[in-house]
Every structure is written in C-alpha cells, then in structure tokens.
Structure 1
Amino acid sequence: MQNMKINHAQKGFTLIELMIVVAIIGILAAIAIPQYQDYIARSQVSRVVGEVNALKTNVEDGLMRGATIITGYTDDLTKDPIEIALGYDSTKSNLLDSSAGTNGITINNGATAAPQIQATLGGDATAAVKGAVVTISRTAAGVWTCAVDKSGAGAGWKDSYAPAGCDAS
C-alpha cells in the first residue's frame, strides 16, 4: 500500500479568532455609538437654528415694509406664523414641538422693531435635545443674536450641542 499524504491545511477561522474579532467589534461599537448620538443631537440643534435663521430675512423684509408681526397664532395651525404674518411660504420642520406655538415657531414683540423668533425642539428630535428652545433676537439697531435655552431639554443635554455663535444658557 502506498503512503498517502494527508493534507491538514487550515480551512476557516478558529473559535478563538472569531471571539477576538467579536470583542474588537464590541469595543469599537461602545466608542462609536455615543459619538454618533452626540453627532445627531448637534446636527438637529444646528438644523433648527438654520431653519429659524432662514425666517430672519422674511422678518426683516416685513419690518422694512412696515408690517406688524402678530403674536399668538391660533387661527391656522397648518401654516407657520411668518407665513400668516407676512404672506411667505415656509417649510415645517419635523424637529419642532408643534404644541409650542404654531408648528413650533413663535414670534414675539411683533409690534416693535425688536422681534424674537423662538423654536422649541420636539417632534422627531432626540431625547437629549427635546424641549430646548432656540431664540433668535433682533435689537432695534438690526443686530441678530442667537441663544439656546437648555432648561427644558432632557438630562442628556451637553453645551456642545449649541452651534457656534449661539449661547447655551
């Protein structure tokens, strides 16, 4: 009988190799998931600030035309306040709390040249930022400032969620 060579070449991975790979993936996930959640929260606050900032142009145009921006909109819940006040169309955000003002946006001090535009985060916003209020204020001189009131936000709020140029209080 001839001697047959048996080939014992390894095929596949051993159990210990698979366990090491799973452990590495677990460690990476433990680091990446909280970072991703912070990224989502920051991007949602920045998006709302951008959406509210987009209304500044309409408010400025209305003030230049002598329009009075009325507060306390309750007559038409299908439109944003600026649309009702100045006749502009605007997009509704899924990140705003629709119970706080009309579609989550409130315009205050409309009879003066120093209005405030406020947006309360809610809707599809993450739990850490729900309840935070973004306020864009205009002085009588025409200078706009931004502030984020975190007092209504969840326990997970971090000051880093407020975008640059917006004070977190």
Structure 2
Amino acid sequence: MKAQKGFTLIELMIVIAIIGILASVAIPQYKTYTTRAQTGPELVGAVRPLQLALAEYAAIEQKLPTSATELVQWSTGEVANCLGHVKNVAYTYSSATAGVITATTYGAGETADTACTGAGPTSEPEMQGKTLVIDVTVNTNGAVRFAVDATNSTVPAKFLPKIG
C-alpha cells in the first residue's frame, strides 16, 4: 500500500475557509481597537485634570463648585492645554451634589491653534466633532464619582472610554 503524501484539495479548502472566517471577524475588531487606542487616551487625558480639580474641591468643600472659575488650579481650552484631538473640556454645575463634564473633539476641517503641534481633528471620521459627557456626583463626605453618560454622549458606544 502506498502512503499518502500532502493534503487533499478538500482539506486545503477547509483550512482556507476557516482562515477567511477568522479574518472577516478580526479585521473589523482590529479597526475598532486601533481607533479606540488613538482617541481614548486623549479623551481621558484631557478630562483627568478637571476630574482631579473637582475631586480636590469636593474633598475640601463637600460640594461641587458652581462654576469652573472656582477651580483656580485648572484652566480649559485648546490654547491653554493643547489637548490633541480634544478641542475643549468644560464643566457645568447642576447642583451642589451634581455636575457635568463635557469634552468635545475637533470636527472635520477645524484647525487648532498654531502653537499646539499635533492638535486638530483625528483621522478617524467616527470620532470627529463628537462629545463625551461625564456625570459628576459628590456625597456629603466629599467623595466624588464620575460616570460616562452614554445616552448624552455622541461618541459611538464602542469607543467610549472607561472613566471612574
């Protein structure tokens, strides 16, 4: 009896089909991953100084400030902070125990201040001109909680950063 050498045509076709199925799943996931890796850290990095300033204020005062001007250790805006793909970060007072942080990315065609190298719209169209909304709450002891508001954010759900 002669020993079989190599693979049959059907075996090779099965292997190619399996590779095709895996690639059809992996490629879109990879695109999501790379977009998230490019934009997520910039959104989080732009919001962190304001989160820290709010947490410090709340720890001392046991309430949230009525406006961002009370946070003397924090300033907002592209010119002051060169926030990369994030155009602006703002704080809105709701009550002594609640507020909102809003981070807005550059839209297509918008230009950043010339002093900020690398700032401007991201190359990812899904993240251009989007808004990230973070709800801020403080308890009577001054402990602050931050939660991404997926309902009011225009950032696609798959790109929302984890902020806590």
Instruction: Tell me the TM-score normalised to structure 1 length.
Output: 0.51
- Quick one: distance in 2 between partners of 1:129 and 1:62? 31
Q: What is the CA distance between 1:145 and its match in structure 2?
A: 1.0
Larger Rg over CA atoms: 1
Q: Does 1:136 align with 2:126?
A: no
Greater relative CO, 1 or 2 (CA 8 Å, sep 6+):
2
- Say if 1:130 and 1:85 are closer, same or farther in 2 by CA, change over 3 A: farther
Do 1:53 and 1:136's aligned partners in 2 also have CA atoms closer than 8 Å?
no
Q: Which amino acid aligns with 2:128?
A: K
- Quick one: distance in 1 between partners of 2:27 and 2:66? 43
Q: Which amino acid aligns with 1:147?
A: D
Deviations 1:41-62 (A, max 9, x none): 2120343024313421211212
Q: Which amino acid aligns with 2:36?
A: R
Structure 1 regions of 5+ residues with no counterpart? 1-30, 71-81, 98-103
More strand by share: 2
Deviations 1:49-91 (A, max 9, x none): 2431342121121233337341xxxxxxxxxxx5x43122563
- Say if 1:92 and 1:65 are closer, same or farther in 2 by CA, change over 3 A: farther
Structure 2 regions of 5+ residues with no counterpart? 1-24, 76-80, 107-119
